[in-house]
Amino acid sequence: MAVATKAMKARKALIPEKESFAAEEAFEILKKISVEVPRKFDETVEASFRLGIDPKKAEQQIRSTIVLPNGTGKVPRIVVFAAGDKHMEAEKAGVEAVGGDDLADRILGGWLDFDVAISTPDMMRVVGKLGKVLGPRGLMPNPKSGTVTFNIKETVDEFKKGKVEYRNDKFGIVSVPLGRTSFEPKMLLENFEALHGAIVKARPSAAKGQYIRSAYVSTTMGPGLKIDLASLIK
């Protein structure tokens, strides 16, 4: 813990004393601190937006997907619930596992070594019994996230290329991985701007007042940097 605290202090010392940063500057700083105070792994860079919505109201919740222009730096492990020709299509697409009741039983038995679950509409009868397991982990297939579909190969390919889901939590915060610290700042900036644009377009009509209240970017084991929202207006 002492080592971690020492490293965190060293990273914070590299950050200019400012309340907020233009998005471009923020990613340059994250890159600098990851190089000058490195970790033993390629950290994830994450963006978090606090939205002016009432997450308790269904009509104000947001949930969708976006293919980040530069990917996330990670190839997700994908499982597919499908039968017949779609089962074969999933196998050819190179997923972690594919099946029906057998796959559901495996998951109920405790196997959760995957990042994305996709299902054909007809197999949702099987997936339904996994709600208590997959739901809390954000892995439940859902039409809004594009994970309930007959377009198996296309959907699998999109997730492998950098498709990510974004949705608000119970506090009205949306957190999404943007890439890795090994990315160039420009790549992270492009991903961030694409995500910001998608969230702005997803604004619920019922949301009142300021929609995006604040935005932060951070690395897995680094301090968060507040983004100057004015720098996002073009």
Q: What would the pLDDT profile of 85-105 be if each residue is shown by its tens digit? A: 999 999 999 999 999 999 999
What element of type H or E holds 92?
helix 85-93
Amino acid at 190: E
Mean pLDDT computed over 6-12: 86
CATH architecture, domain defined by 78-160: 3-Layer(aba) Sandwich (3.40)
pLDDT at 1 over 70: no
Mean pLDDT computed over 154-169: 93
**Alpha-carbon span 184 to 204, nearest angstrom:** 33
Output the CA–CA distances (angstroms, integers) from residue 134 to 37, 104, 145, in the order listed: 36, 11, 14
Give residue limits of the domains in the chain.
19-71+164-232, 78-160
Largest CA distance in the chain: 59
pLDDT at 126 over 90: yes
Estimate to the nearest angstrom the gap between the alpha carbon of 156 and the chain centroid.
16
Output the CA–CA distances (angstroms, integers) from residue 172 to 54, 56, 176, 202, 220, in the order listed: 7, 9, 13, 13, 21
CB 150 within 8 A of CB 140: no
Residue length, the chain? 234
- At 234 the pLDDT is 60
What is the side-by-side strand order in the sheet with 173-180? 173-180, 44-51, 212-219, 225-226
- The encoded tokens of residue 49 equal 């937006």
**Alpha-carbon span 117 to 138, nearest angstrom:** 10
Amino acid at 97: A
Mean pLDDT computed over 2-8: 71
Domain spanning 19-71+164-232: CATH superfamily: Ribosomal protein L1/L10, rRNA-binding domain (3.30.190.20)
Q: What is the pLDDT of residues 173-199, one digit of tens each?
A: 999 999 999 999 999 999 999 999 999
Q: pTM for this structure?
A: 0.83
Mean pLDDT computed over 24-52: 94
What element of type H or E holds 204?
none
- The encoded tokens of residue 111 equal 């196997």
Mean pLDDT computed over 24-37: 94
Strands 78-81 and 225-226: unpaired
What angle separates helix 85-93 from helix 152-161, to the nearest 10 degrees? 20
- At 6 the pLDDT is 85
